[in-house]
Chain A
Amino acid sequence: MMHLCEIYDGKQQKRAVDAPAFANEFDVIVCGLGTAGSLAALFCAENGMRVLGIEAFTCVGGTHAAGGIAKHYFGCVGGRYQELDQRVSDFAERYTCTVPESRKLIAERALSESGVTIVYEATVCGVYLENSTVIGLKVITNDGIKDYNAKIVMDCTADAYVAAIAGCETEYGRELDGQMQPYSLVSLMFDGKDYRYTNIDFGRVNQFDDAALSQAISFARAYKIAEGDKYGTVIAQMPTLGIREGRRIISEENVTLQDLFAERQTDTPMFYSYADLDKHGWDIAFDGKEIGDWAIGANLGAYNVTVAVPYKAILPKDYDGILVPCRALGVDRDISSCVRMIPDMKKVAEAAAQWASLAIAQGKKLREVLYVQLQKRLTESGCLKESDNRGYRVDGFKNPDCSPFVSRDVKWITDVAELHETLKSEKPGEAIWSAKRIGKKALPTLRHLLLSEDENTKKHTAFAMAILGSCEANAILRDMVIERDGLMLRDCRKNNNMRGCMAIYWLGRLGDREITQELIRLICDPGEKDKPVYHQAGIQTTRYKIAEYNDLYFQFMSQSVMALVRIGELHADLRTQIEQAFTDAFASDDYYQRITGRPKLSSEGNMAQAIKAVAYSAIQHWKQQK
């Protein structure tokens, strides 16, 4: 029985249909010819398959071309994409002012030469299913609505858009409030000599709501870069928004941050992803416990991690005939901020093309193809290299003070006697995380270190005790909150945390009821924002310096609200006073004005509103529990 799946007003519908007269039959249809899709289509065609590429826009390359993203952020080099990259680079060297323009032309030329049929300005509006196998698509084109048939469909829309129409299980947004990473808009700038792209984060948007998306587009595009910007004058805004996060599929093999921290790696990788857990929103207080312990509790947010990405992460659970080789692959939200970089997308395209080629050549379903055959091909091309499995690393380009950056492997401390040396520094993160890895047997040594006269040792040991779930050092954590300890630790090249904020985080995680009144004071007192801690000059942070936005105050506020929510979750008897505090603090927009004077649709405005939303949703949740 054949079914047609479509979406009406946001709701998926599935109905039985007779087989349509398909316009054309292809081996593979690639939906979305962006970074991943353009390469997936190219590699499939080079492997001898008959390929249709469907693209909503008027060129190929997506973010890496029309989106104005010229370079890439970390990732592991290697694989078939390098040949096209070289052609793009050679052409740019001779003929163009920017690499993305070269990619637009050269990638399209490569696709045409390899025989890919490209349909621009086309949108998938329906998916044909036979049982749970995708067999074709309904597409809106400039020549009307057409039905195309394929052995395999690749959803490279970056949003699992086709998979969602087909009814595949997907998820998006953070658990607490459904928010996604901020979107950006890139502009090409010219200073009279050089051409550069600026990438400005604007805010968060639910890109599955057409009214909200349209409002975001208008807001970002109406923004005028001030005269005298260091990059010069705007030549053009890029035609596409930089949506940084979208739906992710539940796949046949999903990867979670818990897996990574527990060192559970897949034994069927298609490539290794390598970057930090690159969160663009600074309201990391609301991002959950797993990433919170790492990025706030241990201050390791900019440390790089390696993720072995299983090949089945691109096969939607219980489906066949469809692959999702793009950032919508099956990883959890915390890891998705790492497994989304341009090199990853180029590699996932190759893996998908090879997997599809094997399935079609062997006349098998995707799930019947043997991993060893795919592994052989990916290893031969350099897409999959065991040397890319680099574990945790400190990596980067420059330090906050612009001094040269020294990259290195992270060697976690395994001997408890060695913890002290690192804990007494202003870079205690590795010792805090090492304590977690060592486990409870580190506690006796840590108890001894708590007695130290050295301030750093004592305070950082309190964090290490907290990460082990011990409340023994809570008094020291409370003191850090009461004094508003504003020392910015220095583990990372960006996004470091102030010690006072880390203390609030841990007291919340440990459900410390004794800190409740102090946190209530912090969020309710309008005079709080005038404290010197929020106005430190020359503080070492590479968070952008945004006019009319006080990130230091925001961090204390957001951590306090989250800590109060966690304390209230654990201690029902404290809920009434926490609810009252939330109502007092957020009934008017005064709190917002204390954080930022920027518009509500801006990234900063959005984060300020998230504080209130989180607080009010806790009140609601507790009321329902009553």
Chain B
Amino acid sequence: MFEVIVLGATFLAAGIAQRYQKECLVIERRAKAGYEFFGTYGSEAHIYPCFKEAVTLFNTEIVSVTRTASGFSCLTHGVSGYRCLEAKRVIDTRCTAQMSVSKSYNLLVESDKAPEFIGTSYEKGEMEQHYILKCEVPLSCDFIQARRVALNVIERFSENQRLILTADEFDYRVKADYPKTENGILYLPSKAYETPTLAFAAGLEGKEADK
């Protein structure tokens, strides 16, 4: 039995994994970590060593989490099928639309000027002429609808604007009412912290519940 199961290989999870090491199990449906802040952009190479000492399962779905006499039982489904894993505590660091006040679907674009389109905002990217263009979409919007919105924007690009990358995650703005405990599970989206560094530090220092 693990001391803690952390749902989502987020920056907050990376901190928790460093703290608990072998007593921590991190479960992640994607084949990557730390995506909640960066989506597709940037190489988050530095986050992976943080998961090294913990047991981390990528490409693994969380089917259900149920309470048991001694803690929690987590049914997962990964490349070797169903597995049942147990822990004393469960912390869910993932973010969903239900936890958020708004979300955007982001694009990394190359542009000779600040990209200004109705229904979008932007941030300067790391490289010259790179911008993160944020297409605001309803919380109920799925990826297909979001990319439809994005396509409408892209097809209005000027000659000097090009799409570099589309995100593979939504960029959520989380409600202020976290952390929350429901049925014994601590819900604290990593994205509730302002920066990856703050999220990681909270996990590392054991302050995730004190936010």
Q: Which residues of A are in contact with B by a Cβ distance under 8 Å? A: 6-11, 57-59, 66, 95-98, 101, 104-105, 108-109, 112, 118, 120-121, 123, 125, 140, 145, 165, 187-188, 190, 192, 195, 207-211, 213-214, 217-219, 221-225, 233-237, 239-241
Contacts and interface: CB of A to CB of B under 8 A. Distances in A.
Interface string B164-186: 11101100000000000000000
Contact of B57 (A66, A109, A187, A214): A214
26 contacts: A8-B82, A9-B82, A57-B168, A58-B168, A59-B147, A95-B154, A97-B163, A104-B166, A105-B150, A109-B147, A118-B144, A125-B77, A140-B61, A145-B63, A165-B81, A209-B79, A209-B80, A210-B58, A210-B59, A213-B58, A213-B59, A213-B79, A214-B60, A234-B42, A239-B30, A239-B32
B33 to A, nearest CB: 7
B165 to A, nearest CB: 6
B143 A59 contact: yes
B1 interface: no
Nearest to A243: B31
A221 B48 contact: yes
A123 B154 CA distance: 31
Nearest to A96: B163
What DSSP secondary structure best describes chain B's contact surface?
mixed
B169 A58 contact: yes
Contacts, number: 156
A58 B78 CA distance: 17
Considering the complex of A and B, which 7 residue pairs feature the smallest CB-CB distances, nearest first?
Answer: A7-B81, A222-B48, A10-B80, A210-B78, A234-B43, A96-B163, A218-B48
B121 interface: no
A210 B60 contact: yes
A120 B142 contact: yes
Contacts of A11: 81
Interface in B64-90: 77-83
A195 B84 CA distance: 44
Most chain B beta-carbon neighbours within 10 Å: one of A59, A95, A217? A217
Contact of B82 (A6, A66, A104, A225): A6
A108 B80 contact: no
A240 B32 CA distance: 8
Contacts of B41: 235-236
Interface residues of B, number: 53
B2 interface: no
B39 to A, nearest CB: 9
Q: Is the interface of A mostly helix, strand, loop or mixed?
A: mixed
Contacts of B169: 58
A223 B48 CA distance: 9
A324 to B, nearest CB: 17
Nearest to A140: B61
B187 interface: no
B33 A101 contact: no
Contacts of B29: 121
A191 B59 CA distance: 32
A112 B144 contact: yes
B164 A97 contact: yes
Interface in B144-168: 144, 147-148, 150-151, 154-155, 157, 162-166, 168
Interface of B: 29-33, 35, 40-46, 48-49, 51-52, 55-61, 63, 77-83, 108, 110, 127-128, 142-144, 147-148, 150-151, 154-155, 157, 162-166, 168-169
Contacts of B80: 7, 9-10, 208-210
Contacts of B165: 98, 101, 188, 235-236
Contacts of B30: 239
A6 B63 CA distance: 14
B79 A105 contact: no
Nearest to B127: A190
A239 B162 CA distance: 21
A621 to B, nearest CB: 27
Given A101-B164, A108-B147, A235 B108 contact: yes
A7 B63 contact: no
A209 B61 CA distance: 15
A209 B79 CA distance: 6
Contacts of B42: 234-236
A218 B52 contact: yes
B164 A222 contact: no
Nearest to B51: A218
A211 B79 CA distance: 9
A31 to B, nearest CB: 14
B2 to A, nearest CB: 14
A6 B162 CA distance: 45
Contact of A96 (B45, B142, B162): B162
Contacts of A195: 164
A7 B51 contact: no
A391 to B, nearest CB: 39
B201 to A, nearest CB: 20
B164 A239 contact: no
A104 B107 CA distance: 13
A7 B77 CA distance: 9
Nearest to A237: B43
A118 B148 CA distance: 14
A97 B83 contact: no
A101 B30 CA distance: 19
A484 to B, nearest CB: 40
Contacts of B31: 217, 239-241
A121 B169 CA distance: 11
A98 B164 contact: yes
Contacts of A105: 147, 150-151, 154, 166
A190 B108 CA distance: 13
A223 B45 contact: yes
Given A123-B77, A190-B127, A218-B51, A101 B82 contact: no
A214 to B, nearest CB: 4
Nearest to B30: A239
Contact of B40 (A9, A217, A239): A239
Given A9-B80, A207-B79, A236 B151 contact: no
Nearest to B110: A97
Nearest to A66: B168
B147 to A, nearest CB: 6
